[in-house]
Amino acid sequence: MSSVPVPENESARLQLLYELDLLDTQADPLFDRITGLVKELLDADVAVISLIDKERQWFKAKVGFDVAETPREESFCTHVVASGDTMHIDNALEDVRFSSNPHVVSEGGIRSYAGAPITLFDDHHLGTLCVISQHPNKFSNTQLRYLETLAHWLSETIADRYAIDNYQAERDVLAHGPVCAVVWRVEPHVHLSYVAENAARVLGYSSDYLLREDTHFESIVHPEERDELLQRMQNVLDGKQEVLEMDYRVIQPGQSDADAQWIQHYARADRDSAGNIVRVRGYLLNDSKGKRMEMALREANQNFELALAAGEFFTWSWDMLADELHVSHPWSLIAGYSADEEQQLNWREVIPAEDLSYVQQRMREHATGHTKRFDVRFRVKHKHGHYVWLHSVGRIIARDEMGQATKIAGVHHDISRQVADEKLLAQQTELLELVSHVQHSFMLSKSFTEVCDHALPKLMAMTASHVGFVGELPAQSQHRNLLRVHGIRLGTAQHESESVKRLGQQRLEVEAKGQLLQSVLTAGEPKFHHQRLKPEDLSLAPLTLPPLNNALIMPLYFRREVVGLMILANADGGFSQRYLGLLRPMLDTFGTLMHMRRMDEERQQAVETLRKLATTDELTGLANRRVFWEAAQQRFDEFMRYQVPMTIAIIDLDHFKQVNDTFGHGAGDDVLREFCRRTQAQLRDMDLFGRLGGEEFAILFAHTAVDDAIQALERVRKAIAAEPVSVEGEEIAVTISAGMAQLRQSDNKLDQWMARADEALYQAKEQGRNQCVAVSENESGYTKLN
């Protein structure tokens, strides 16, 4: 017996295995059913789900033997865990790795084995789904594919449960933290349906009190903020605004305003598939300390601004009668003009028209006494074309005999960096809200294309872009030259047609060409391009892109694997490096959702494949014997309850053995498939056509008396006998014999009904074949129709 192999990531693998808490746990019905299914599919003596621990292999599920665990050094499965690949052994006595294994050389020992890895997070192989037999066995590719599909299903199930456990743990942490989660139901009326257990600590009121039918949440809110909260909540319920964000005070009976608790309230509505609001989720944070600090800081800032206005730092004064502006600094410090240019400079000309109008409005408001001071932020156009932001504060310092303002003085300073930071912070906040919305929407709709339709225009607005694209690489993409379109905006009226917007919904695949695109998809690094792009730089055939003056191309990742990309182009002013940091949360979210959508599709395909294998005949695609018998039993029960006519027919291909013996089994399979095709062409959608085995078939005519059913069956017989079946140049004549019987009240069980139809089939064969025979209504004989 060879030495036991160990995976390179053994330490990380064991850590994950222990974290999942699967070892030495109770039996799981789902795992037991999967184990039983794989034993049946691979026709094995034993089937197990094994987990490879440091010194042992432990069996989470097993069918066919009772051992709980075995030493790791004697395990076949540890080889699968080490390699990460499916392993099958036809005869262990002939395999040098296992020929001396004690489980092989013992009486009734292992002869054949097949095991597929149970893998989480790409390369953590925890154990196997495997089968064992006491006799040599050569497993088919189909059987091994079944084994791998079920092992992959197990892996996804374990990963999903792991994620759910983590979510519950996070919710428990939230319940003991400073944020109180609440839920309002909207039917039959708006009411609290859930309040986290930490409500007493956050709000000062217990969850039991808040959930009482006679308690209205607004009753604990300070009267000065109560109506505003109700109005904002109503706006959310009416769909006028997406979220509710508000600070308000929570009061206790007999408590003063100074002692009231400040609550930061955030809420968002949940909608059903039809877009109707079903609940509103809220998160309440006790922010009393922060709010009091904020109010104190605001007062301090006001005092500071007044003190600054009395100083000489970038001061200005405006003689309103002479229309002369005097500043304490040269304009070159702000707008880049030289001393000579300043002599001819009109300050109104360097302020954009919309900003100048706002400045003049604020000046009038202060001059007429509507505001205590002139306080405004505005832009000044720099000599080099960009804008500088100024914050200006001033007061009227002189009036004439009529009380009209004649002079105003104040200070201003450059706040361009502050405005940029505020804009970035606002964009970051907007982006995080968008990420949350995208994640929530995807969990509800499971449509990544819908997510892109919502998110892409907002991302383009943040970056002042006019072209946007989100594409996904197909699974296991090797050449990385195809992208599935999920979101696209081409900007101009010419390109922004409804047909272009629907490309994502149609799952169009485009060919990604160009050096820029290929470098991003292969190297996985974002690319900036600040000049006009050529087709050899970027193209998405068959799409016709508008001229691209600049572009930012960003890869979308999941666990270090490039799964797609996002393109933003034609940005006003080009792209800066800060956009990568700003967009990173959305890029990560897109990559994760792409992976989740892909995994969900693969899981659905696996389930559909298993369902089809379990219900259809592999050769003909008809309902298999089990499905046909179950349907017949349902119709039997329906007849016994409602007396609705039911007729069943059993069909046999005449002398079919001679077809196999003369032309071969391949030709026989072709004959069976052609027989099924012709037969189905003559039947109704409601008629069930199934294969009972070999060349024996049956038709279940629901809600049909025998007189009508035999006419349909005769059409089938004529269609089969009308012309021979052509197989590789050979013309094979085919006929059928059929017997049928209508269900009667005297049939005590399904077998009696089937036996009468089978007896009619026997009569058809005895009378010369190529004919249909039905049991007569009075059971006095048979009706032949040919």
Task: Give the pLDDT of residue 494.
Answer: 44
Shared domain check, 162 and 183: no
Q: Reply yes or no on whether the pLDDT at 613 is more than 70.
A: no
What value does the mean pLDDT take over residues 240-254? 89
Task: Give the pLDDT of residue 418.
Answer: 84
Shared domain check, 674 and 692: yes
Q: Looking at the chain, how many residues does it have?
A: 786
Taking each continuous run of H as one helix and of E as one strand, the counts in the chain are 22, 31
Shared domain check, 238 and 114: no
H/E stretch holding 640: helix 625-642
Of 286, 309, 330, the one marking the end of a domain is: 286
Shared domain check, 477 and 540: yes
User: Contact 702/646 with Cβ under 8 angstroms?
Assistant: yes
Q: What is the CATH number of the domain that holds 117?
A: 3.30.450.40
Q: Reply yes or no on whether the pLDDT at 2 is more than 70.
A: no
Query: Does residue 401 have an active-site annotation?
Result: no
One-letter amino acid at 246 equals: M
Shared domain check, 205 and 158: no
Residue 571 Cα to chain centre, angstroms? 30
H/E stretch holding 205: none
Q: What is the CATH number of the domain that holds 648?
A: 3.30.70.270
Neighbours of 82 (CB within 10 A): 18
User: Contact 476/463 with Cβ under 8 angstroms?
Assistant: no
Task: Give the pLDDT of residue 498.
Answer: 55
Range of weakest confidence among 109-118, 297-306, 730-739: 297-306
Residue-wise pLDDT for 128-181, tens only, equals 999 999 999 999 999 999 999 999 999 999 988 887 776 666 566 666 778 888
Identify the active-site residue in 225, 450, 472, 695: 695
Rounded to an integer, what distance in angstroms lies between the CA atom of residue 35 and that of residue 30? 9
465 or 258, which is more confident: 465
The two tokens of residue 401 are 């005999």
Q: How many domains does the chain have?
A: 5
**What range defines the domain where residue 198 resides?**
176-286
What value does the mean pLDDT take over residues 494-509? 57
Neighbours of 679 (CB within 10 A): 23
Rounded to an integer, what distance in angstroms lies between the CA atom of residue 320 and that of residue 223? 46
What value does the mean pLDDT take over residues 66-74? 92
Q: Would you give the DSSP letter of residue 259? A: G
> Does a structural domain hold residue 618?
no
Q: Which of 713, 709, 703 is nearest to 679 (CA)?
A: 713
pTM of structure: 0.39
595 or 613, which is more confident: 595
Q: Reply yes or no on whether the pLDDT at 45 is more than 70.
A: yes
Task: Give the pLDDT of residue 309.
Answer: 42
Rounded to an integer, what distance in angstroms lies between the CA atom of residue 331 and that of residue 493? 42
Q: Where are the alpha helices (DSSP H) in 42-140?
A: 77-83, 102-105
Shared domain check, 186 and 69: no
In sequence order, the β-bridge partners of residue 349 are: none
Residue-wise pLDDT for 486-495, tens only, equals 888 887 554 4
Shared domain check, 215 and 150: no
> Does a structural domain hold residue 1?
no
